[in-house]
Amino acid sequence: MKTLRYLYLFVLGFLSFLVSQILIRIPLLGILTKNPKFVIFQINNALLVGCLIAVSAGIFEEVFRFLFRQFLIRESMKISEPIIFGLGHSLMEIIYIFVPVILSSGLSMISPLGIIERVIATLIHIELSIIVWNGFLVNKKYLYLLLAVLLHSICDMLIPLAMSVGIGSYALEMLFFAVTVIIGVITLRINRMEWKL
C-alpha cells in the first residue's frame, strides 16, 4: 500500500511539471514570442523580459504544485511525500531538457556541468515541495505558496541576471548551489513534517 502511495505521489509530481510547463506555460510563451510587438519589446528590454519569463516559471510551477497538493493529495505528516513529489516533478523536467539533446546528438552532448545543474534543480524542487506541504500543516498555505513562488522566481532570475553581467556557467552553478543551501535552511526552519518514510 505504501509503495502504491509513493508511486501515486511520484506520478503526480511528474504530471505537475508536464501540465504547468509543457502543456500550458511553454505553449503560451511560444504564442507570445510570435507577436512582433513583444519581440520588439524583448529586444529593447532583454533583462526585464528575461526576469519576467523567469518569474512566470515560478508562478506556474508553484501554483500547480499547490493545486495538486490541495485537490489530489490527502493530509500527511511524512516528509517523504513532498520529497517523492519533488523527484517526480524534477524527473519530468530532466526528460524535457535532456531527451531531445540525446536523440539529436547523443549522450556525449550532456556535460558534467549540465548534470550538476540538474542535481541542484532537483534539490530545489524537493525543498519547494516541502515548503508548500508545510503551508497546509500550519494553516498558512497561501503565504507559503507565495514564499515558494518567490524562492523559485529568484532561482530562475539568476540566469538572465548572470548573463547580463557576464557571469560564466561555473560561477552561475555556484550561485545556484548557494541559493539551494539558503532555501534548504529556510525549509528546515519552517518544517513541521515528521522525518520518517
- Tell me the per-residue pLDDT of 113-159, one tens digit each, with 9 for 90 and over: 889 999 999 999 999 999 999 999 999 999 999 999 999 999 999 99
pLDDT greater than 80 at residue 108: no
pLDDT greater than 70 at residue 173: yes
Residue 35 CA to residue 91 CA, distance in Å, equals 32
Percent residues over pLDDT 70 in the chain:
99
Mean pLDDT over each residue of the chain, to the nearest integer: 94
Q: pTM for the full model?
A: 0.95
- Predicted confidence (pLDDT) per residue in 46-57, tens digit: 999 999 999 999
pLDDT greater than 70 at residue 104: yes
pLDDT greater than 90 at residue 195: no
pLDDT greater than 90 at residue 58: yes
Q: 120 vs 38, 114, 116, 141, 180, CA distance in Å? A: 32, 10, 6, 25, 7
B/e letters for 169-185, b = 16+ CB within 10 Å, e = fewer, are: eeebbebbeebbeebee
pLDDT at 103: 81
pLDDT at 197: 65
Hey, what's the torsion of the CAs at 167, 173, 177, 179, to 10 degrees?
40
pLDDT at 111: 86
pLDDT greater than 80 at residue 60: yes
Residue 153 CA to residue 156 CA, distance in Å, equals 5
pLDDT at 172: 92
DSSP per residue, the chain: -HHHHHHHHHHHHHHHHIIIIIIIIHHHHHHHTT-HHHHHHHHHTHHHHHHHHHHHHHHHHHHHHHHHHHHHS----BTHHHHHHHHHHHHHHHHHHHHHHHHHH-GGGS-HHHHHHHHHHHHHHHHHHHHHHHHHHTT-HHHHHHHHHHHHHHHHHHHHHHHHHT--HHHHHHHHHHHHHHHHHHHHHH--SBS--
- Predicted confidence (pLDDT) per residue in 26-36, tens digit: 999 999 999 99
Beta bridge partners of 156: none
pLDDT greater than 90 at residue 102: no
Residue 51 CA to residue 151 CA, distance in Å, equals 13
